[in-house]
Amino acid sequence: KYYPPDFDPAKIPKLKLPKDRQYVVRLMAPFNMRCKTCGEYIYKGKKFNARKETVQNEVYLGLPIFRFYIKCTRCLAEITFKTDPENTDYTMEHGAMRNFQAEKLLEEEEKRMQKEREEEELNNPMKVLENRTKDSKLEMEVLENLQELKELNQHQANVDFEAMLKQYKELEEEQRRKEQE
């Protein structure tokens, strides 16, 4: 391309794009959901052509939050969800209902139990000691179980399968001789 000697790139007018511009992207459904209109199940990993936009006036620690628009595979109803960087997840907005996720509930329960334990330990020094003894007992049990498993594996490793097969063949021959007699 030819650029004349008096070319000035500053004179080129800049494109003025709107802040809430939507892009078409290809994405996978981030979780299992069920359409509220027709009841169709949309499974995690199903691919969609979605519209993506940046949510206005919402940021988390400087990270922009994105909203995605997809269409139900059966009834073409619009389903929207957005990113949730605080919980490293997605939140359902409307058009569908998020299906039950046991893993997420279990994770939340573990966090809650850990938080309760920490609060309890802050207020009660005896509870700290009790928890330490429980943890050490549990650790000792785990180590004992691991040692037993190692011993069992060593015992099984010493089994001579060739000798076992030979002994089995000898027993079969013995039974055949008895039957013939």
| Domain around 33 | 23-98
The reply to whether 125 falls in a domain is: yes
Token readout for 31 is 């979780």
Same domain, 69 and 114: no
pLDDT bracket for residue 43 (50, 70, 90): very high
Lowest mean pLDDT among 69-83, 99-113, 128-142, 151-165: 151-165
Listed residue (181, 32, 176) closest to 103, CA to CA: 32
Stretch 5-22: mean pLDDT, rounded?
Answer: 88
DSSP state of 160: -
Structure tokens at 92: 């359902």
Is residue 59, in this structure, part of any structural domain at all? Answer: yes
- Same domain? For 34 and 80 the reply is yes
Give pLDDT tens digits for 105-118: 888 899 999 998 88
**pLDDT reported for residue 30:** 92
> SS3 of 53, please?
strand
Question: In 3D, which of 70, 90, 88, 89 has the Cα closest to residue 80?
Answer: 70
88 and 37 share a domain?
yes
Total of domains in the chain: 2
Domain-embedded: residue 14: no
Per-residue pLDDT at 52 = 96
Q: What is the pLDDT of residue 156?
A: 73
User: What is the pTM for the complete model shown?
Assistant: 0.56
Residues 67 and 42 in one domain: yes
Question: Is the domain of 81 the same as that of 142?
Answer: no
Alpha carbon distance 29, 169 (integer Å): 59
Lowest-pLDDT range, 13-22, 47-56, 158-167? 158-167
